[in-house]
Chains A and B, each alone.
Chain A
C-alpha cells in the first residue's frame, strides 16, 4: 500500500509538472554569445562562443564608425555560420599598430536577431618584419614594408618588384641567369625610402596621377603599367633589395641604381666546370646570387587568394586517335566560362611543371593566366568541340594532359578544376591505295598531260602530288644526294584540296591536267594520307601511284610558201643597244651597242655517222659498245627529225645563238649534236638534248612575208638548258618588269628588208611601253637575267665576222648577275616554269590590323638584355 502510494504521488508530480508547462529551465536552451579577440600585426583572431545562434555578420572599422544595426551588418558585412561552442575566424588585411573596432551581429533564426551587437576594440601590434604580407585578394595583395634600420642614414632605398612564379623561374634559368639585382635595377621606377603599404589589384594596374588620370609614358605614348593583372590563386614572387645612389648599368641618369650586391664576386664565383644552366631545381628556391648581397635582400613567395569552389563543372569527353582526336566540352549551368590546355607529357613534365616548382596545385591558375595563354591555353564559353591536333602535335602511343578550369564569373573568384590524362592509341589504319592512270584524250593535247587518280580503299583524307618531266624526276632520283626519293619529292609537292580528295575517293576518281610541252613525257606521283597521317609508299616508277604520259606533237600550222625560208638561211650579225647594272654608280645604265652571231637554219644538223672519237667517248664514259652507241644515235636522229618537223610545221626557221654579255659563257652556244658528244654533259635521254641545246629561238614567217619571233616559257623548249638553269626568252620592260600574256605566246613583231639582208625584231608594245626580247631564267617566280638587257630593236645584218681581241666590248668592272627587279606580271596569271599544275586562286582574306600596346615591362626586359652584354666584370 505504501509503495503504491509513493508511486501514485510520483506520477501526480510528473503529471503536475507537465500540466503547468515550461517552469523547468534547460540551461542548454539559452541563447548566448561571447566574443574574444586577439590582435596580430595585420590580422585579428576572433573567437565567438555561442549557443543556439546560427549565423554571424561582422565589420571591422575605425572605432565609433561602422554599421550599428544587425540588419546593416548582415546586409553589408561579412557573414558566416556558427555551431554551439567556440567558433573562430581571422580578419586580415589590417594595418599594424592601429586601433580598430569589430562589430558582430548574430542571427538566432530567420525571424530573430540576437538581442545585442557584440563589439570589441583592439589594437594591432607593430610591424616586426621588413616585409609583412597583410592580405591576399582574388586580384592581388597588400603588403607592408618596414624600412630596415640604418638605410635612411646611408641614403639607401629598397627597390622592389613582383613577378609571377613561372616568369621569375624563367628568368632564373638558363645560361648565367638574371640576378635579383639585375631584375630590381631594371625595374627602374619603384623603390621605398620609408615605411609603406603596397596594394596591387585590378584597380591600380595602370599608374594614375593625383587627378585620377592615367599617366602616359612619354616614350611609348601608352599608359604606364604598374603591374600585370593577377588572377585568383596565382603564385607570385616578391623581391626587395637595397640600393644606393649611383650610375645605372643601363646607362640611365644617376639614381638609386647601385645594388648592395657584389657583382664581381658573384661572377668570379662561377668557375669553369660549373653547370652554367642555372642554379639547380627551381623548387629549391635557392639561387647562387643570393649570398652575394651585401645589404638588405629578401624574396617572399605567396599566392593570390584561392578561388572558392564552384558548384558546377564542365563535362569533358576526349576521343583520342593515333594522330588526332576530339574533345567535347559541355559546361554545366553556372559555368560562366572556362580555360583549357592540352600538352604532351614531355612538355608537362619538362616545361610547365618545373616553372611552377613542380607544384600541381598551381596548375589551376596556370590555365587562366597570360603565361598560360602564351603556352597555348584557350578560353571559351558554352559547349564546344575542338580537335586535339589544333592544340598539340598528336602522336600514337603518347600520353597527354588536359587541364581545364571552369569559372563561375568573369573574375574567376569561383572555380572548378580538372586535370585529365589520356593516351593515344597506336596507328591501326591502312594506308590508302593509290592508282594513277595516264589518260589519252581523244582530242590532240600537245600542251597538257592528263591523269586519273583513284583511291580504291576510299580512305584518303589528304594528299600531295608532284608532276614534272620524267627526266626531271630522274635527275633528282639519280643525283648524288641520297635524300631524294619519290616519297621526299612528293612530300614537297602540292596538296590536294578537300574537293579533290573527295573526287579521288569516288568511283570515278579525279582527273587532272598538267601543263607540258609537246611530245614530252610527264610523270605524276601521288601520296595519299589516311586520318592517321599514314600514306602509301612509292618505291619506284612502276608503283601504281606513279604514271607517265607522253603529250602529243603539235599539229602543223597551215603551210606558208615563202622565199624567205631559203633566203634567210645563213650567218647573221645581231646587234642591239643594251643596258647593265652599274655597281659603281648604282642603277641600270646604257652600255652601248653589242653584237653576237646568229645562224639561221632550217633545223638541227648532224652528221650521218659517228666518228671513232665518239665511240671512244661513250666507251670510256658510259661503258657502251659501238652497237649501243649506234642505237642511241639512231634515236637521236629520230628526235632531231621530230624537232625539225616541228619547226617546219610551224612555218619557222631555227635561230642559233644569242647573247650580249661580257661573260659569254653564260649564253654559250652548243648544238644538239654538240651535246651528244660533249663529255661533261649528261642528258637523261635524247629528248633532253633538244630541250637543252642552244641558245635557240625561232623566226616565224607569215604568208604576207612578215616575220615574228614567238616565245613561250610554258609550251616551248628552253632557249638553252644545258648549263643547268633553264633559260627562256622573255619580254622585259625598261623598268625590269616582265610582260606575260596569261600563258599565250609572246610575239615579237619583225620585218625583213627588201633586199633581205636585214631583219629587224621589234619589242612588244603594251600601252605604249616597249618590252624587248631578253634572255633570262625563272627562279621561283623571279626573272633573273644575265649581265645585260636589250633596250632596242634587234637588228640582224647578213654575215658574221669573228671579232678580234680588241673588238670585245669593254668589261664593266664588277659586272654580275642578279639584282634585277623581280618579275611583275602585268597581265595574265603567271609565267612560272611548267613543272606543276596551276592551282586556282583561292579567295583571299584580309586580317584585321592590330595595334599593340607597348607597356613598360617590355622596356624592362629590353633593358635587361642591354645589360646582358656587359656582365659587370
Chain B
C-alpha cells in the first residue's frame, strides 16, 4: 500500500511540474502580423459632410481599441472620431496607423470641391455577361505620309463592325501636330514605325502593313468572338470648371487580378494630313492618359477581385484650356491578366465627358 501511495504522489508531482508556468515563456497567440489600413472612399467632397471611413485590420479582424492614427504628411497623431474622416479643405490626405507593435502602410484619399459623380443604376445586378468592345490604338500623326492608308482602313472597319470597338488615336509622330500627345506610350507599346495599330494594348498584337488589311480584320474578329465577355464597366463623368472627376466601376465574372484605366479623347481637331488631300479633321485623339503606372506600363490601377464583385476606381484630372470639353469623351478600359502574366484590355467603353454609362449586358 505504501508503495502505491508513493507512486501516486510521484505522478502527481510530475503532473504539476509539467504544468508549471513561467519557465519557457508563452506562445504568441496572435498568428497574424499583417496590419492594414484602408478607406472606403478614396475621393470625398471637401464639404464637411462627405466622409471616408478608415478601417484598420489585423489580418481579417477589424481593430479599433488601441489603434493610433497618424498624419502621413508629418507623422503626428490624429484624433479621428469614430474613424470617420471629413474635411472642408480640398487636398490629398494620407494616414497610417499603429496597433500594439504593428504599423500599417500609408493610405491616401483626395478631398475635392467638385461634386462626386454618381454611377447609373445597374440594370442587371446579378449578371456578369457583358457586351464586349475591342480597344484599338492607332499610332499616327499629321505629318506621317503613309498614315492616310491606315486611316482609310479604320474608317472601313467602322462601317464593317459598327459599335464593336473603341478607337483611340495617339498622335505621337510629330510634335507640331495639333493633336500631339506628349507621352512615352509609343515606346511603351514598342511602336517602331508609323502607322501602327495596336489591339487591346497588347504589344504582341501590332499591325503595320496597310497593304494587308485582312490581317487586322482577322485578328479583330478573332478577339471580338461572339461579342460577350466576363468583364464589365460602368462610368460616370463630371466636369466642374476645369476639374474632371471620373468614377468607374468594374464588375467581373471570375476572380483574379484586373487593371482599370481611363483616357481622355477629343474629336474635331483641325490639322492638314500629309499624304491626303481630304483629311484635315481628326477625331478620337488621345489628350490625356490616366492609366500610366510607369514609363512602360499603361494598364491602369490594380484590383484583386472575387467572382461577381465590383470595385470602384476614381480618376481625377484637369481639362487643358486648349481642349474643347464639348468634343471630349472618356474611354475607360479593363485589362485582364493573360496566362503569361501580362495584361491586355478585355473590355472598353466610351462615354461623353459629363455623362454616364451603365453596364451594357449581352443579350
Residues in chain A within 8 A of chain B (CB atoms)? 4, 7-8, 11-12, 14-15, 18-19, 21-22, 24, 26, 29, 52, 67, 70-72, 74-76, 107, 109-113, 330-331, 333, 337, 381-383, 410, 842-849, 851
- Chain A, residue nearest B149 (CB): A843
Q: Is the CB of B28 within 8 A of A846?
A: no
Q: Is the CB of A382 within 8 A of B12?
A: no
B336 to chain A, nearest CB (A): 14
Near A by CB (< 8 A), chain B positions 14-36 give: 16-17, 19-25, 28, 30, 33
Complex interface bits, B112-156 against A, C-beta within 8 A gives 1, otherwise 0:
000000000000000000000000000001011111010000000
B102 at interface (Cβ–Cβ under 8 A)? yes
- Chain B, residue nearest A19 (CB): B16
B103 at interface (Cβ–Cβ under 8 A)? yes
CA distance A4 to B9 in the complex (A): 13
B341 at interface (Cβ–Cβ under 8 A)? yes
B209 at interface (Cβ–Cβ under 8 A)? yes
B101 to chain A, nearest CB (A): 5
23 residue pairs A–B, Cβ–Cβ below 8 Å = A4-B6, A11-B10, A15-B12, A15-B16, A22-B23, A71-B68, A71-B101, A71-B103, A74-B103, A75-B70, A75-B96, A111-B28, A112-B100, A381-B296, A381-B342, A383-B341, A846-B143, A846-B144, A846-B147, A847-B193, A848-B173, A848-B191, A849-B173
CA distance A843 to B10 in the complex (A): 98
Q: A18-B13, A21-B22, A330-B340 in contact; A846/B30 too (CB < 8 A)?
A: no
B174 at interface (Cβ–Cβ under 8 A)? yes
Q: Report chain B residues within 8 Å CB of A67.
A: 75
Q: Report chain B residues within 8 Å CB of A112.
A: 100-101
Complex interface bits, B63-104 against A, C-beta within 8 A gives 1, otherwise 0:
000001010000100000000000000000000101011110
Q: Which of B12, B22, B30, B101 contacts A29 (CB 8 A)?
A: B22
Q: Is the CB of B173 within 8 A of A843?
A: no
Q: A8-B6, A71-B98, A843-B209 in contact; A22/B75 too (CB < 8 A)?
A: no
Q: Is the CB of B341 within 8 A of A331?
A: yes
CA distance A107 to B103 in the complex (A): 13
A41 to chain B, nearest CB (A): 30
CA distance A373 to B336 in the complex (A): 31
Q: A29-B22, A846-B194 in contact; A107/B9 too (CB < 8 A)?
A: no
B109 to chain A, nearest CB (A): 19
Q: A8-B9, A330-B340 in contact; A846/B145 too (CB < 8 A)?
A: yes
Q: A52-B25, A110-B30, A113-B101 in contact; A11/B342 too (CB < 8 A)?
A: no
CA distance A71 to B97 in the complex (A): 9
- Chain A, residue nearest B19 (CB): A18
Q: Which of A22, A24, A76, A110 contacts B28 (CB 8 A)?
A: A110
B211 at interface (Cβ–Cβ under 8 A)? yes
- Chain A, residue nearest B21 (CB): A22
CA distance A330 to B341 in the complex (A): 9
CA distance A112 to B174 in the complex (A): 62
CA distance A735 to B186 in the complex (A): 43
Q: Is the CB of A15 within 8 A of B13?
A: yes
Q: Report chain A residues within 8 Å CB of B75.
A: 67, 72, 75-76
A280 to chain B, nearest CB (A): 42
- Chain A, residue nearest B208 (CB): A845
B327 at interface (Cβ–Cβ under 8 A)? no
B294 at interface (Cβ–Cβ under 8 A)? yes
Q: Is the CB of A11 within 8 A of B9?
A: yes
Q: Is the CB of A383 within 8 A of B101?
A: no
Q: A333-B341, A845-B194 in contact; A29/B100 too (CB < 8 A)?
A: no
B210 at interface (Cβ–Cβ under 8 A)? yes
Q: Report chain A residues within 8 Å CB of B98.
A: 71, 74-75
Q: Is the CB of A843 within 8 A of B146?
A: yes
- Chain B, residue nearest A410 (CB): B294
**Central interface residue in A24, A67, A109, A845, by most chain B CB within 10 Å:** A845
Q: Report chain B residues within 8 Å CB of A111.
A: 28, 30, 100-101
- Chain A, residue nearest B343 (CB): A382
B297 at interface (Cβ–Cβ under 8 A)? yes
B15 to chain A, nearest CB (A): 8
Q: Is the CB of B16 within 8 A of A18?
A: yes
Q: Is the CB of A22 within 8 A of B20?
A: yes
CA distance A111 to B28 in the complex (A): 8
**Central interface residue in A29, A330, A846, by most chain B CB within 10 Å:** A846
CA distance A70 to B101 in the complex (A): 8
Q: Report chain A residues within 8 Å CB of B144.
A: 846
Q: Report chain A residues within 8 Å CB of B101.
A: 70-71, 74, 107, 109-113
Q: Report chain B residues within 8 Å CB of A70.
A: 101
B237 at interface (Cβ–Cβ under 8 A)? no
CA distance A113 to B6 in the complex (A): 47
The 8 closest A-B pairs by CB, nearest first: A18-B16, A22-B22, A383-B340, A845-B193, A382-B342, A15-B13, A75-B103, A71-B98
Near A by CB (< 8 A), chain B positions 299-325 give: none
CA distance A4 to B186 in the complex (A): 94
Q: Report chain B residues within 8 Å CB of A848.
A: 141, 172-174, 186, 191, 194
CA distance A260 to B208 in the complex (A): 60
Q: Report chain B residues within 8 Å CB of A845.
A: 146, 193-195, 208
A25 to chain B, nearest CB (A): 8
CA distance A675 to B314 in the complex (A): 88
Q: A11-B9, A112-B101 in contact; A846/B173 too (CB < 8 A)?
A: yes
Near A by CB (< 8 A), chain B positions 162-221 give: 172-175, 186, 191-195, 208-211
A30 to chain B, nearest CB (A): 11
CA distance A294 to B32 in the complex (A): 66
Q: Report chain B residues within 8 Å CB of A333.
A: 341
Q: A11-B10, A111-B28 in contact; A26/B342 too (CB < 8 A)?
A: no
CA distance A111 to B6 in the complex (A): 44
Q: Report chain B residues within 8 Å CB of A18.
A: 13, 16-17, 19-20
Q: Is the CB of A29 within 8 A of B17?
A: no
Q: Is the CB of A844 within 8 A of B146?
A: yes
Near A by CB (< 8 A), chain B positions 328-351 give: 340-342
Q: Which of B13, B19, B172 contacts A11 (CB 8 A)?
A: B13
A340 to chain B, nearest CB (A): 15
CA distance A848 to B183 in the complex (A): 13
CA distance A425 to B340 in the complex (A): 30
Q: Is the CB of B33 within 8 A of A110?
A: yes
Q: Report chain B residues within 8 Å CB of A22.
A: 20-23
Q: Is the CB of A109 within 8 A of B28?
A: yes
CA distance A72 to B144 in the complex (A): 57
CA distance A382 to B101 in the complex (A): 38
Q: Is the CB of B341 within 8 A of A846?
A: no
CA distance A337 to B12 in the complex (A): 65
- Chain B, residue nearest A52 (CB): B25
**Central interface residue in A12, A21, A71, by most chain B CB within 10 Å:** A71
B31 to chain A, nearest CB (A): 9
Q: Report chain A residues within 8 Å CB of B30.
A: 110-111
Q: Report chain B residues within 8 Å CB of A24.
A: 23
CA distance A382 to B340 in the complex (A): 7
Q: Is the CB of B297 within 8 A of A381?
A: yes
- Chain B, residue nearest A21 (CB): B21
Q: Report chain B residues within 8 Å CB of A851.
A: 175
**Central interface residue in A11, A52, A337, by most chain B CB within 10 Å:** A11
A317 to chain B, nearest CB (A): 13
Q: Report chain A residues within 8 Å CB of B21.
A: 21-22
Q: Report chain B residues within 8 Å CB of A8.
A: 6, 9
CA distance A19 to B16 in the complex (A): 6
A598 to chain B, nearest CB (A): 47
- Chain A, residue nearest B173 (CB): A848
- Chain B, residue nearest A332 (CB): B341
CA distance A846 to B208 in the complex (A): 11
A315 to chain B, nearest CB (A): 11
Q: Is the CB of B340 within 8 A of A846?
A: no
B27 to chain A, nearest CB (A): 10
Q: Is the CB of B9 within 8 A of A15?
A: yes
Q: A110-B102, A113-B101, A381-B297 in contact; A14/B13 too (CB < 8 A)?
A: yes
Q: Is the CB of A12 within 8 A of B209?
A: no
